[in-house]
Amino acid sequence: MTVSPNLPNLPQFSDSSAPLTRTDDERGVATLTLNRPERCNALSFETLRRLLAELRQIAVDDSTRLVVLRGAGKHFCAGLDLDEATNGAPIPLETLQADALDLDDFRVPVAEITQTAEKSNPAQLLASKTDFRDASPFDLAAQPLAPPFEADFPPTLPRFQVAPRLVLELLRQIRLTPKPVVAAVRGAACGGGAGLVSACDFVVADSTFRAVFTETKRGLSPSLLFPFLRRKLPLAALQEFVLTAAPFAASRAADVGLVQTLVEPGDFAATVAAAVDRFLANEPRSLATAKRLFNAALLPTDAEIRAGWLEHCRSWASSAGREGIAAFLVKRPPRWSR
């Protein structure tokens, strides 16, 4: 197996207690399972980095022909683990370098975002009457990029800044992986979890599946996923899903093209297996060429991805974002809810 020199040679994750597990069969099918069922498979930092590493290795491994992405337990993925992203320890730079992320991207907003976030103590925010009329988050993305001064770059970065970037890297890597990625989904897919579904090449869902884009309910900008979603879903449907932040059922997901095959739970495993067989009947290099052609329409530009990430980070540091996340973590309505 050929492994990119920019990535650590990570072992295959077969430990049943690991946040991500991988199994391979003799046909070259790699099954990646989000394995935090007690948290509805919420995306922790470790889950994100492991999944990204696996997909990057699979992309250059000729023995792997197809990826199946699934979730352990009743649900596919609850999205980003907000509890960890807000309360976990900062991420050391060495970890980011090992994951082969572009550190220059992190240099641009770090000072402004962290200073904005430090101005308000979350406890004080909860005790105060907050005015949510913040400056437009588009302002940050529109600013000229500052030069990367090493002296201004801290040795660690907050998780709320790193974790969304890893979500974007995952979506991008799914599109760039020259092998079909089949999502086998049931139960809930929320926020970034629904974003993962949208990036896959083919989606099989059972009738328990439901999706929701939760950002506007949390006071966050939907800009993180938007560059990918607008290329995959009809604009009118996407506008409804984002502006209402309301869950939509499997049948609606199939109607708008998020799901390609919808079946009853009893037929789910057999239908996934049949979809895998159809892909394996095709020539690998022709499939890789086809994915590259579709990426001209489905893959956002680097500039769009970066601007969306910057805007999303700004919204985390805004008063509305901090209020929305705090309300979610303590299971109460946010202040703006009527």
Residue 228's Cα: distance from chain center in Å? 11
Which residues lie across from 66 on neighbouring strands? 29
Using DSSP's 3-state secondary structure scheme, residue 13 falls into: coil
Q: Give the C-alpha separation, 328 to 86, whole Å.
A: 12
Read off the tokens for 133. 């009329």
Question: Does residue 79 come out as left (phi exceeding 0), alpha (psi in the -120 to 50 range) or beta?
Answer: left
Angle subtended at Cα 257 by Cα 252 and Cα 260, rounded to the nearest 5 degrees: 95
Q: Where are the beta strands (DSSP E) in the chain?
A: 20-24, 29-34, 66-71, 91-92, 156-157, 181-185, 188-190, 202-206, 210-212, 248-249, 261-263
Q: Are 100 and 7 in contact (CB under 8 A)?
A: yes
Q: Give the C-alpha separation, 333 to 230, whole Å.
A: 29
Q: Give the C-alpha separation, 186 to 202, whole Å.
A: 14
The owner of tokens 């101005």 is: 119
Burial class (CB in 10 A: 0-12, 13-18, 19+), 278: exposed
Read off the tokens for 108. 């641009």
Residues with active-site annotation: 215
